[in-house]
Every structure is written in C-alpha cells, then in structure tokens.
A and B are shown apart, each in its own frame.
Chain A
Amino acid sequence: MKPFAYHQPDQIPDAAKLLTSIEDSKLVAGGMTLIPTLKQRLASPVALVDLSKLGNLKGITDDGATITIGAMTPHAVVAASKLVQTRIPALAALASMIGDPAVRSRGTIGGSVANNDPAADYPAGVLGLGATIVTSMREIAADKFFLGLFETALEPGEIITAVRLPVPLKAGYAKFKAPASRYALVGVFVAKFADGVRVAVTGAGPGVFRVPPMEAALSANFDPSAIAAIRIDTDGLTSDIHAEADYRAHLVTVMAKRAVDAALS
C-alpha cells in the first residue's frame, strides 16, 4: 500500500468538495473492494475520503411503493432487515448471498453499486427492480446508471446517498456462485410488477443487463416453463477459466427459471 491522506468529512458537500479539489482522491465506504486494490498496489490514490461520518447515509426506510436504503448500509443489515424481508424478500436473500460474514458486515450497497463489478449481486437487484440511484447531485434510473465493466453514470465528485427500490408484487434472485470467488458466475433477478416483469442478469457479461424476451414471456405467463426454451445469445458473454460463454448462456436460462421459482415460493 502506498501512503495517502485520509479525510473523514461529516457533510456531503464537504466530501464532494474534497473529491473534486484533490486530484486522484477516492471515496471509501466499506473498503471491501478498495482496500485490497490498495494493498496490491493496483490503485494508489493520494487521498481517501471516508463516508462513514456522513449523517443519514445509513438505514432503511419504507416509503410505501418504494423502500430506500442509505448508501452506507452494510449488506448484513439489509439481509437481516425485517422491513426488507417482508417488502422485498428477494433483495434480503440477495444481500445474504454476498461474500462472507466479514464482507457483509463492512461492504455497503452504495459501494457495490458504484463499483459495478460485472459479477456483483446488487446490480442485478437494482436493475431488476428498476431502482433509482439517489446521489449528491441528482437521481438516476438504474437503466441509465450501469454502463458496463466497472463503468457507471456517476460524474467526478458525485456521491451515491441512497438507492430507492420499487416494491414488486413478486421477486426472486438465483445465484450460481463462481466456484472460487463466490461472486456470481451467473445471477438472475426477476421482479414482477403490475405493469410487467423485469429480468436482470449479472456475472454473465461485462456488466449487468436485462433480457427482453424473458421479460415478455414472463409478463404473459409468470412461470418457469415460460422461459425454459429461451436461450440468450453467447455474443458478448464472458469466457474465462471457470466457464465459457455458452455455459454462461445456458446458466442464464437455468438461473432465471430458478429465480421465478423462488419468486413463486
């Protein structure tokens, strides 16, 4: 790890100012992704701006048609939240499948969404539910937020403050864990709303994506059988030492069926 300055502001504008005024500065939330890259000397910011002292970034609120999760809320809190478990049980289940207990107690929804790891779980939930990312500057729809491999719509100095998630009629998440890392080799989040079904896939490609043919089929008939024959194109899917693209494509269908099963159970 290379030396860096450390700031712990208590106001969002101060944090944003530090970020824009110090070149090569970085936000740190749970540090579960950032600290390992510092240790391996893959990143060497000159300053870290710690979000942990900012007020109001932690916690979960029920807004009726939506629930709002503060950016600094750790995965373990979401997994154990009675509110999430009752309103969007699939999201609590998703949070409980991330990493291990240590990672879940430190890692945050804001960090996960901002990082947009192609194999992370939250992006599937956030896109699958059609959530809104609330930042220090504006509100961004999930469909406009995730821009591919570690890329998001965030501007320099922009801080995620919360994620607002519509409460679906039914939802399910099915994750096929990569054998070694236990990130998603393929994870599929399926959510049924009054106006249709959303299907979001993580792990299979360079970023989270939706599957319109499955959404259409499930909107017509919310049952695993409706999508059993839908195969997604292998073009653009990831091939690595754990799984080739055709296997990932196959798993998308299998996991989508299991996600629907989970939503129905």
Chain B
Amino acid sequence: MGNVIGIGAAPKRKEDQRFLTGRGNYVSDIKRPGMTAGVFVRSPHGHAMLRGIDKTAALAAPGVIAVLTGDDVAADGLGSLPCGWGITDAKGVPMKEPPFPMLAQNKVRFVGDMVAVVIAETPEQANAAAELLEVNYEVLPSVVGVLEAIRPDAPQLFDDVPNNICCDWELGDKAAVEAAFKKAAHVAKLSLVNNRLIGNPMEPRAAIAEYEPGTDRFTLWTTSQFPHVVRFLMGALVLNIPQHKLRVVAPDVGGGFGVKQFHYGEEAVITWAAKRVRRPVKWVASRSEGYVSDRHGRDHVTEAELALDETGKFLAFRVNTLANMGGYLSTFGPNIPTNLYGPLLGGVYTTPAIYCNVKVVFTNTVPVDAYRGAGRPEATFVLERIVDVAAAEMGIDRVEIRRRNMIPKEAYPYQTPVLVQYDSGDPMGCLDGALVAADVKNFGIRKAASASKGKFRGLGYSTYVEACGLAPSRFAGRLGARGGLYESATVRVHPTGQVTVMIGTHNHGQGHETTFAQIVSDKLGVAFENVDIVFGDTDRVQFGMGTYGSRSLVVGGAALSKATDKVIAKGKKIASHLLEAAEVDIQFESGKFSVAGTDRSKTFEEIAGAAYVPHNYPLEVLEPGLEEQAYYDPVNFTYPGGCHIAEVEVDPETGTVTLVNYTAVDDVGTVINPMIVEGQLHGGIVQGVGQALFENAVYDEGSGQLLSGSLMDYCMPRADHLPMMKVATHSTLCTHTPMGVKGCGEVGTIGSPAAVINAVVDALSHLGVTHVDMPATPNRIWRLLQNASLPVAAE
C-alpha cells in the first residue's frame, strides 16, 4: 500500500513514467487497420480567387484514393467552421461573421488556406499527387497589417465586411474618461505594437478519423485541448453527425498553449473523408504546415493614454487598439482582443475611469486566436509600459508610482470600472517580496559593473493581475459566449477502494494526472498511486469543456472536489448504517469513517466494499455503488497576479539584449503541487521572454507570404537565452473556489513581456529611449541607438 500524497506535496509526476520512457501514445503513434494518408493542398497566395481545380492528374497518380475540394463540401451541404463567440459593437450590432469553409470556396484568404485534400495509400503518394493538383488562382493583392487593412483603398477580404472591420467594440465609460482627461495634470501617451506570435507546440497537429458502417459511428483522434467541444462543434454544426454517433479522442498531446483549443478544418475534412472513402484517414502536419495553419496569437497596434493628477495618481486610462483576426474567425477569435483584454486594463491599480475601443480587423493572414495568456498579456503590456512612461515623464520612481496607485490588500473584493471584480489579492505584498528577492537595492552596483565593461544594465517591473479560471457561464454568456464554461468530474470508487477519476479537462503537459490525484488522495485518504485520472475521450468521460484559460485546476479541480465531497457524503450514510450510529455523528478523516467520541470505525475500503456487495446495506433508502459526479460553474473568474522583475544587459555595439536576472513573486492562491507550479511559472515566463526578445511572425505586405515560416527564421527562446530564474509564490486565497486556488498556467506569460521591455527601456533611458517594440532584437536595438538623441559611448 502506498501513501497518501496530499495538497502541498511535490511528488514526481505520474505521467512522466510513460513520457520519459518513450511510451506515450500520441495521435501520430496510432495506426488503424486499412489506414490511408491525407495531405492538404494549401493556398500559396495570401489572397486569390479560385478559378477552378483540375483533379485529373492528381487522381491518376499512383495510390490515390480520392481528391476532395470545396465543391465537394458544398455538394454535401456541410456547415462552415463555427465561431464560439459572438461579440457586438457599442450599438449592439453583432460582429460580421463571414463563413469559414473547411475547404476554400471561390476564394482563398491566407497562405495556408486549405483548397483540397488528397487521400492516398501512403503519405508519399499523397504528397506526390498533391503536387499534381492543378489549381487555377487569380491572384489578388493581400493586406496583412491592421493599419493597412482599414484604409479605404485596402483589398477587401469579404464583400460584406466594409473596410475589413469585423467589429468596432468598446468597453467602459467614455464620457467619464474624457472628463477625467480634462482635469489631468499630466497625460502620458504611448503607441505600441504587440507582435504576432506562433505557438509552436512540440507536437505538430495531427488527426485520424474512422467510420464504422456497422454502427454508423465515427471516431476522431485529434491533438486537441477540448475533445468534447470538438465533438459538439464539428458534429452538431459542421458535419451534422449526432453526438452519440461521434467519439472524439485526444490522447497524449505534446503541448498546446492554445494552438490546440480550436476546432480546425483539418479535423472536419478528414472525418468527412473517412466516411466517403470508407477507410481510416490519417493526417500529420509537418512543422512548416503548422506555421501556416496553426492559429497565431497577439498582433495588436495600440494607442494608449493615461491621465494622472499632480501626485501621479491615475485618473483615467484610454486605449484604442486594432486587433488582427487574420482571414477568418477562429473558435475563440473575436473574444480574445475584446473580452479577455479590455477588462484587464485596470490592472492592480485604482484607476477610476477606463475606456477601451478595439477594432477587430480581417487580414490575409492565418486566423488569430488564443495563445497562452490570450488578451491578458496584451493588456498587461499596454498598462505596465505606460505606467513606466508616465513615471519617467513625471520624474516619479517607477516603484513609487505603482505603490501610489495599487489596490491595497484591505480593499478586496475590489470592483474595477471594467466589469470584473477582484475577489482577493495583495499586489503590494508581491511587490515587496520581489524587490527583496531581486536584490534591487544592490542594482546600482551591478549596473556600474556592466558599465565598466561597456554594457548598459536595466531593471524592469511588471506588477500585474490577470483573470482566469474560464469562466462563469452566465457572465460569459452576456459577453457573447455561445457555450457554457463549467467543468465536470466523476469519481468512481472501485469495490476495492481504488479510484478512477473521469475529468472534462485535458492534460497536455501540465501534470494534471498528478495534481488531481493529489486532491483525491488528500480528500479521501486513498494512496496517491491508487488514483488514476482519465481524460480526453468522449466515450469514457462525461461532457467537459477542456483545458485553456488556466481553468483546469480552478474549474475542473473544483468539480473534482465537489464530486469527492459527494463520495464522502454517501460514504457517511453507508457508515452510519454499518456502525449503527446517526449520520451526523459520523466523521471522516484520514481515510476512516468513525463514530464521534468512540473507537468504532470503518475504513474507506470497507465502505467501498459494502457499497458494491450490499448484503448489509440500507437498500430501501440508498442506491448501491460508490460513484459520484459533479459539474461546477464558477461564480467569478480568479485573479492571480504578482510582480515580475527583469534585469537585462545591453551590448550597445551589437544591440544584443541579454536577460541576466529574472524574479517572479506570484499570487496563485493555494498551491497543490509546488514543483508543478514552479514548472508552469518557468514555462510561462520563457514564453513571455520569447515574445519580448525573440519571437515575431512577419508577413510580407502585398503578397501575404509568411517570411518567418520556419524555425530558421522564427526565433524560439532556448535554454541558453535564460538565466536561472527566481520564482516564488505569495498567495492570498481565492474566496470563491473550493480550495482557494487561482490558476497558474498563464501568469508567467502575462507578467513577463512588460518586465523585460521595461528593463530594456531602463537600460537605454539615458540615451533618450522611451519605448522599444517587441521583439527587442539586436537589429532593432542597434537601430534605436543609431537614432537615439544622445551619442552612444565612443567606441
């Protein structure tokens, strides 16, 4: 018998046994009898009319089974890929929602847009045949940048979307903000770009679909963060397959970061094709294919203004953003730069009036959707940058200006002027902790040491908050969500007392099999090794919404906690019968049901046994068995946050920025497994550092070609780019989640870009530099220094 490993412990991860020994089971590992290979033909043009496709040569190629195009989709009367959010503009007019056909019809709108699928006996044959498909394109000019796309003479992606504007969205009290700006002693202004990113999970996307004529059932194995939602969207809205005739399995998935939380056309096409060819079809994306088809992230152009009084108190904040949606609306697309952005503009400050306008814009680029942090990194970057700009302009210390405006711990719960109400937090505590951990008081010594080597050293702060644990369904519904955002868990206690949990979230690297098992082990007193977590299969698990928005522990864990409580409650009833005591006198502790004040007790295993062999059991009033299910719909978002401090060194000769120290003190609520939390923080921070210093998806205006279309040109952060990080938690407990948890999956990515860029600007501020756009590449920094108002130290 193993041990209870409970909340707060840091056992090694259960899932690593199979991952580290090469025994994972990823989609591309799966082989089905009679399997065929699907290869997609994608548009090489950013924008073009489709003037006909000649399949003859491709169909005649060796091994080819079928070639399917948009015309075949239309002939079968299938739906287009649905958008899960419908936002409205200030007047309540719904966003423009043009169809997103799973294979292009009449027109292609980005490089990578799917034109056809070729199905053959082998991937090589399918690839060879795909090269023979004759597609007649009439190339149109492309528009890839948001500023260009809204010009009156810009190429128009859709006939009925004037100026390519999907929605002109706003939030906040515009009049109150204007009034506050009139009274302001100082107004800080900032224009910035939030660079476009490509998620690059280690495992490229893949799918296999199979149709079983005997039962008229489909099975889709797919690299997804939310298999039930794929079943719902694809079955009900695209392919017209009844839910009970469709099984979606997301087995081991090698990283997601948001990229795999959308319903993709590839899944739908191969599921449809599997029935047409009556054989399983498998598609595995290459890395290059991922670059032009995985949904991208971020891509904003923003103008922000902060009004302050003479003491540096924030009076009002106004933000105008153009957000790139790419060529079509992806599953969560329009929600990200609006509902997950505007409400975060209050940050950890008491700014009384905030107004935000976001124009959501179509361009000839890959559709843009959620990427780790999704909207909140963008909001945090705008806010934390402009705070630094204001501090510099008013001659107030950057830490001091933050303190003057921070929400004090006692002021929680705190209602912001932008919808959200923070339940708990202690930003000042995080800041104080981080100042010590980062050894800020000796920064001057380190800066002088750098200067003696001809380097400029800078320090950057980001004191931030985010909203996660997506999400209260009713609240989300009011904002335009077309689905619920609860989560579900089933706790199945076996007759011998071991436990299998079926949970609606999906584990793709986060360590859920460990964290959730700790919760069950802790609450039921069952050995850690006697708890298994099952997820990712719609035939095995009840409906669940999946994993994104740092929701798994916050929402899924809450459902699990509730279901576990139900098991205990039923166990008490059984114990009360067996121990011949009143139910109120039964206590449950450390895996034992006992009668208060006596030494009479039954173990958890004995109760489980009695539930399944109900010879001595109150069958008149209680059903046999010990299995409970719970759905949990959160009452609010959770609001993790903290303080990140980055320290950089800039080599003025080459423009190279080196991150030399990084400190994060985060409030993530209750920590179930500190090792896993630390790993999530590390990974999140690295992704934010990637955005700040390295990553950039670059398109060519006019042709719409992706210039950063491979790892040779898209720079991912690497181990040698990073210092050892100092991460710590300073937690206040969430007041409305069952265990006080807040979520930690995205905080690192949300807090870090501003910290890094603030440090870069600090390093260069003596040269008159006031802002640096991301990524702060050597080329960009060198150019800034060329144009800087003061001469760089003589060489």
Contacts and interface: CB of A to CB of B under 8 A. Distances in A.
Contacts of A254: 653-654
B789 interface: no
B686 to A, nearest CB: 15
Given A241-B707, A251-B654, A254-B654, A180 B779 contact: no
Contacts of B782: 247, 250
B770 interface: no
Contact of B711 (A180, A241, A247): A180
Interface string A218-247: 000000000010000000000001111001
Contacts of A35: none
A21 interface: no
B131 A41 contact: yes
Interface stretch (B357-365, B585-593, B606-614, B712-720): B712-720
Contacts of A242: 713, 777, 779
Nearest to B775: A179
Interface residues of A, number: 18
Interface residues of B, number: 25
A176 B653 CA distance: 12
Interface of B: 124, 127-128, 131, 288, 653-655, 694, 696, 698, 707-708, 711-716, 777-779, 782-783, 795
B392 to A, nearest CB: 27
8 contacts: A2-B128, A41-B127, A176-B778, A180-B708, A180-B714, A180-B716, A244-B779, A247-B783
B365 to A, nearest CB: 15
A238 to B, nearest CB: 12
B713 A241 contact: yes
**5 tightest CB-CB pairs across the interface, nearest first?**
A180-B715, A179-B715, A181-B712, A243-B779, A241-B698
A237 B128 CA distance: 37
Contacts of B783: 244, 247
Contact of A241 (B288, B653, B708, B795): B708
A179 B127 CA distance: 32
A181 B715 CA distance: 8
Interface string A35-51: 00000110000000000
Interface in A56-94: none
Interface in A143-188: 176, 179-181
Contacts of B714: 180
Given A2-B128, A180-B713, A247-B778, 12 more contacts: A41-B127, A176-B654, A176-B778, A179-B715, A179-B778, A180-B708, A180-B715, A180-B716, A242-B713, A247-B655, A247-B782, A247-B783
Interface of A: 1-3, 40-41, 176, 179-181, 228, 241-244, 247, 250-251, 254
Contacts of B698: 241
Contacts of A180: 694, 708, 711-716
Given A180-B714, A241-B713, A1 B124 contact: yes
Contact of A179 (B128, B653, B707, B777): B777
A40 B288 contact: yes
Contacts of A179: 694, 715, 777-778
Contacts of A2: 124, 128
Contacts of B779: 242-244, 247
Contacts of B795: 228
Nearest to A3: B124
B773 to A, nearest CB: 14
Contacts of B124: 1-3
The SS class assigned to the B binding surface is loop
A6 B779 CA distance: 44
Contacts of B715: 179-180
Nearest to A243: B779
Nearest to B651: A254
Contacts of B707: 241
Contacts of A41: 127, 131
A36 B152 CA distance: 44
Which of A181, A228, A244 is packed against the most chain B CB atoms within 10 Å?
Answer: A181
B37 to A, nearest CB: 14
A192 B782 CA distance: 30
A242 B698 CA distance: 10
A181 B708 CA distance: 11
Contacts of B288: 40
B692 to A, nearest CB: 13
Contacts of B716: 180
Contacts of A251: 654
Nearest to A244: B779
* Of B124, B714, B782, most A-chain CB atoms within 10 Å: B782
A97 B234 CA distance: 49
Contacts of A250: 782
B117 to A, nearest CB: 18
B77 to A, nearest CB: 35
Nearest to A181: B712
Nearest to A186: B654
A103 B795 CA distance: 36
A2 B655 CA distance: 43
Contacts of B711: 180-181
Contacts of B654: 176, 251, 254
A215 to B, nearest CB: 20
Residue picked from A2, A3, A228, A242, most chain B C-beta under 10 Å:
A242
A181 B713 contact: yes
Contacts of A3: 124
A243 B778 CA distance: 8
Nearest to A119: B712
B779 to A, nearest CB: 5
B323 to A, nearest CB: 22
A40 B711 CA distance: 14
A1 B777 CA distance: 35
A142 B777 CA distance: 34
Nearest to B712: A181
A219 B128 CA distance: 57
B531 to A, nearest CB: 39
Nearest to B716: A180
A243 B713 CA distance: 12
Contacts of A241: 696, 698, 707-708, 713
A35 B712 CA distance: 16
A225 to B, nearest CB: 9
Contacts of A243: 778-779
A40 B131 CA distance: 12
Of A3, A41, A241, A254, most buried by chain B (CB within 10 Å of CB) is A241
Nearest to B127: A41
A1 B707 CA distance: 23
B198 to A, nearest CB: 12
A179 B777 CA distance: 8
A238 B747 CA distance: 39
Contacts of B127: 41
Nearest to A224: B795
Nearest to B130: A41
Nearest to B123: A1
Nearest to A247: B779
A244 B708 CA distance: 15
B379 to A, nearest CB: 27
A140 to B, nearest CB: 30
B184 to A, nearest CB: 40
Contacts of B696: 241
